[in-house]
Structure 1
Amino acid sequence: MDQKMFCYQCEQTAGCAGCTGSTGVCGKTAETARLQDQLVGAMIGLARAAEGVECPGDRVYRTVIEGLFTTLTNVSFDDDAIRAQIEKTHREKERLLAAPVKKSAGPREKAAGESGAAASVQDTDDYNLGLLWDMDPDIRSLKSLILFGLKGMAAYAYHALMLGASDETVNQFFLTGLREIAKDGTVESLLPTVLKVGEVNLTCMAMLDAANTGTYGTPIPVSVPLVVERGPFIVVTGHDLKDLELLLKQTEGKGVNIYTHGEMLPAHAYPELRKYPQLKGNFGTAWQNQQKEFADIPAPILFTTNCLMPPKKSYADRVFTTEVVAYPGMVHIDDEKDFTPVIEKALELGGYQEDRQFTGINGGTRVMTGFGHGTILSMADQVIDAVKSGAIRHFFLVAGCDGAKPGRNYYTDFVKQTPEDSIVLTLACGKFRFNDLDLGNIGGLPRIMDMGQCNDAYGAIKVAMALAEAFGCEVNELPLSFVLSWYEQKAVCILLTLLHLGIRNIRLGPSLPAFLSPNILNFLVENYGIGPVTTPEEDLKALLG
């Protein structure tokens, strides 16, 4: 393409069409975007080499999962780190091609014979992702849904992998989906794969849910303070619970307190993490406010997953990254997970000299979390009775990613205007728009229930399915409405999971994805009733009938 770069994978892409200049809205350069596309192309080459191989192996799977995660929005801005991942992908492909073929099932063996050493270069070449961006709009739209859905699912698979959980069906589908992007396809042939992403992502989210609760216990409701106590502290942001656990272990007895930020807030609800007394509270709000909230902070910030923005000078010297997160010039904690540099920086900076009270967006000084599916389903009889008695008339799942684009105040206004006989379920960082509001209770149940991270969307699905079973109806017949916000690719794979399950009449905003062509958008409207958010007043009127 003639443009310096082309990227339209996030909600804030320039002009709701695509970033095509020298720098994307997220801050990545044209060179970074080019390398990320090259990495995707290399992974497609690896997936091609794995076709016909009965069991490509954990190394191949991890390479693909890491690579896809690396290309997620706001994960890696480090060109050298991306180049290293490309080289790693190429090495895995060469190793795979040199290994004996165990199963005659595809073009690789036909070209290579039993040794695999003479595999056709044509079959295993890296794919030029620029071909995708120049395709027919409808084909490009469907393949983008597949690619971006795979990227989002890779984040969930990665977190599960860090806790020792893996699933062969999920792993194999990463390879299948990548190969599909490079194949010739029609709208009719690609649509099943798009929905398959949603189906496999449901399995992936269930795996992550089991890994999280199996490792750290079932989340329990907890009120989290927004005050930072005096003395040295570390802010941990992102999503990775394993990194937080390791940091908590390494800070025991060091006089350093730990505060969560953004999507790490739900960590306070896990019993095995709550047992650490230095896990004190939550600092700040959602990811897009970090450049303001971290300005001159007297503490280091550890980024464990996506949601990294280019650091400002006022705090760049105290940013640390780990896993696949990377930014040029920042200290990176490698796989040995020695957080000594982070702890030493905390002790050097010293923290605040006095306790510092912060507030949420609406002025609240505490926020609740921990209403995972385990907690809500344990109260199922109470919830069902409240519905039958008329105390609860409607449920709203107001969930998803937050962002800086104008129009996201819609979600705050929507929640404020929900009727007093309704429950608001929420998850992911979009909740920071309203999670410090006090909307009261219904029969002892808080009207706002935070179900956790975006990673915990599986819990919302479990609750919806359980309610449908209890009332002997379909999910679409429940007094339940989905009002979602999206920003990056994890939201894409969750949306595809909802579509796979046949969930209808989803409201999506603050704007619809730029990668949805008019024809594909029309298909979603006609078949699933998906539509853009309008105004809180109009949408509430429509959803409440």
Structure 2
Amino acid sequence: MSMFCFQCEQTAGGKGCVKTGVCGKKPEVAIAQDKLTCALIGLARAAGGKSPGRDTAVLMIKSLFATVTNVNFDEKRINELIEEVEKEKNRLGGAENFNMRDLWNGNVDIVSFRSTLLLGIRGMAAYAYHAHVLGKENEEVMNWFFKGMKTIGEDHTVEEWLDLLMEFGNINLQCMALLDEANTSAYGHPVPTKVTTNVEKGPFIVVSGHDLHDLKQLLEQTEGKGINIYTHGEMLPAHAYPELKKYPHLKGNFGTAWQNQQKEFDGIPGAFLFTTNCLMPPKASYADRVFTTSVVGYPGLRHIPEGENGVKDFTPVIEKAIELGGYPEDMHFTGINGGSVLTTGFARNTVLSVADKVIDAVKSGAIRHFFLVGGCDGAKPGRNYYTEFVKKAPKDTIILTLACGKYRFNDLDLGTIGGLPRIMDMGQCNDAYSAIQVALDLAKAFDCTVNELPLTLVLSWYEQKAVCILLTLLALGIKNIYLGPSLPAFLSSNVLGVLVDKFGIRPITTPEEDLKAILG
């Protein structure tokens, strides 16, 4: 059985996975996800390109989220979603699904535009779903899922496709703002926090993914039970939220970025909970202690379902942690550069609260330039570029970072400038919203455009949430973004040429050459 998937940065040969996914996705799952995508286009058509109601909208975003890389490897659960979508489509009067044969075939430029928009919508669905579980929804955002999915199955000119991509980018900004509001209203605004990479003796659970609501429920259910909780990957920024950090058994962060889990989880005497994407096929040596929840799925792993009013019973995870017992003594772990303390919590409120210091430092020449070095990490060779870029960045520059790409360098101690740390972790990938707000406010303070600020974005991408963030940045008119470690396979040469000409997107070269080009 063959498949085709080119939605992630590590796709086979830089062209597309056709036998099995580099991520571990089987052809049967890839085909089911394509079938689900085509059914969602049919649902959007039946709804007339507009959300027909809350339940249908939630089904749309949940289904799209299930097709994001490293989320759901379970063919049975994908097929269950297809059945739900078909049933809802028929309830609305029925409509023709998009032809699976045409999803990734046809004119290469049209396929490129269609794929870019589809993959961006999948990424936005993840953010919308996280906001939804915290009770935050936006009618315009929900409507756009149906408009976007309907229009993916239609013909457009190059100019119309570009307009759609820019319209989507602005909608995704609203979605990220919604999630920011959801997280901060529930847990408070993040504050700078130092996080250890050590693990204390005794039972423990490692929580991976992005969903703070799941983490909060687990913290409540483990309180007073002698079980420590550690974050992993994109969950690291949870330590900075006041309503989460108040739990004394939220102890630290385990491991580095997602692609190292098969090595780092091997033989670990603790339980693991995956709340969103970033799951890799587990090795037999630790599969018995890995649990999934929400839209995450993998055949053979224990899944924690959602109960009434969104409440989940994490008893099986807790019992497994107690059974395993944890380490008999405290363990010392480090990041990839040997550091054992990570700092997070430099979201928009924190950075803007010291904006006067930042502005003075720039005007005095103490701060020469800002680099936003962030995005997804991955296993493909070439990502050491980001470590070397940060190490080689001059001492009068500040490194802003977010998402899991920061694990390449977030354990480095680069010192401070005027009392400000040279590395500031702004949070998860969705916290690109914080970075955008900081840039917009600084541009206002300096009475210039964002593109005139001493700021350069140096981004790494892996999956679909990076795609929707990039489209938001382009929609805001931000230019000269450095992108790597390789360019997306779903961008045809002509479409890439349009983006380069219009927005100045630059493939990364070497740290030395790029720093010289940026700083002169």
Give the conservation status (yes or no) of the 8 Å contact 1:428–1:453: yes
Offset of 1:52 from its aligned partner? 6.8
**Structure 2 residue aligned with 1:188, among 137, 147, 159?**
159
**Structure 2 residue aligned with 1:354, among 308, 329, 343?**
329
Residue 339 of structure 1 pairs with residue 336 of structure 2 = no
**TM (normalized to structure 2)?**
0.98
Where in structure 2 are there 5+ consecutive unaligned residues? none
Map 1:289-308 onto structure 2 (within 5 A).
289-308=260-279
Q: Is the radius of gyration larger for structure 1 or structure 2?
A: 1
Aligned to 2:40: 43
Residue 162 of structure 1 pairs with residue 133 of structure 2 = yes
Aligned to 1:133: 104
Offset of 1:379 from its aligned partner? 0.5
Percent of residue pairs identical: 67
Aligned to 2:226: 255
Give the conservation status (yes or no) of the 8 Å contact 1:74–1:306: yes
Which amino acid in 1 is paired with 2:393? T
d(CA) in 1 for partners of 2:98, 2:326: 49
Q: 4+ residue stretches of structure 1 with deviation over 6 A?
A: none
d(CA) in 1 for partners of 2:466, 2:414: 26
Which amino acid in 2 is paired with 1:518? S
1:169-219 Cα offsets, whole Å, 9 max, x none, are 100000011011111222122111111111100000000001100100010
d(CA) in 2 for partners of 1:184, 1:495: 24
Give the conservation status (yes or no) of the 8 Å contact 1:59–1:92: no
1:427-475 Cα offsets, whole Å, 9 max, x none, are 0000000000000000000000000000111000000001100000000
Offset of 1:96 from its aligned partner? 2.3
Secondary structure of 2:262 counterpart: helix
Aligned to 1:371: 346
Which amino acid in 2 is paired with 1:34? I
Aligned to 1:78: 74
Map 1:106-185 onto structure 2 (within 5 A).
124-185=95-156
1:74-116 Cα offsets, whole Å, 9 max, x none, are 000000000011111112112222xxxxxxxxxxxxxxxxxxx
Which amino acid in 2 is paired with 1:69? F
The answer to which of 129-138 and 410-419 deviates more is 129-138
Which amino acid in 2 is paired with 1:177? G
Give the conservation status (yes or no) of the 8 Å contact 2:49–2:147: no
Aligned to 2:92: 96
Aligned to 2:491: 516
Aligned to 1:60: 56
Which amino acid in 2 is paired with 1:45? G
Residue 243 of structure 1 pairs with residue 240 of structure 2 = no
Residue 32 of structure 1 pairs with residue 34 of structure 2 = no
Secondary structure of 2:457 counterpart: strand
d(CA) in 1 for partners of 2:153, 2:66: 20
Offset of 1:130 from its aligned partner? 2.7
Where in structure 1 are there 5+ consecutive unaligned residues? 98-120
Aligned to 1:197: 168
d(CA) in 2 for partners of 1:314, 1:381: 52
Give the conservation status (yes or no) of the 8 Å contact 2:49–2:146: no
Secondary structure of 2:371 counterpart: strand
d(CA) in 1 for partners of 2:428, 2:115: 24
Give the conservation status (yes or no) of the 8 Å contact 2:6–2:490: yes
Distance 1:310 1:511, change over 3 A: same
Give the conservation status (yes or no) of the 8 Å contact 2:44–2:147: yes
Which amino acid in 1 is paired with 2:157? T
Residue 388 of structure 1 pairs with residue 392 of structure 2 = no
Give the conservation status (yes or no) of the 8 Å contact 2:49–2:150: no
Aligned to 1:407: 382
Give the conservation status (yes or no) of the 8 Å contact 1:160–1:208: yes
Which amino acid in 1 is paired with 2:121? L
1:219-258 Cα offsets, whole Å, 9 max, x none, are 0001000110000000000000000000000001111000
d(CA) in 1 for partners of 2:516, 2:119: 33
Aligned to 1:112: none
**TM (normalized to structure 1)?**
0.94
d(CA) in 2 for partners of 1:387, 1:195: 32
Pairwise CA RMSD: 0.9
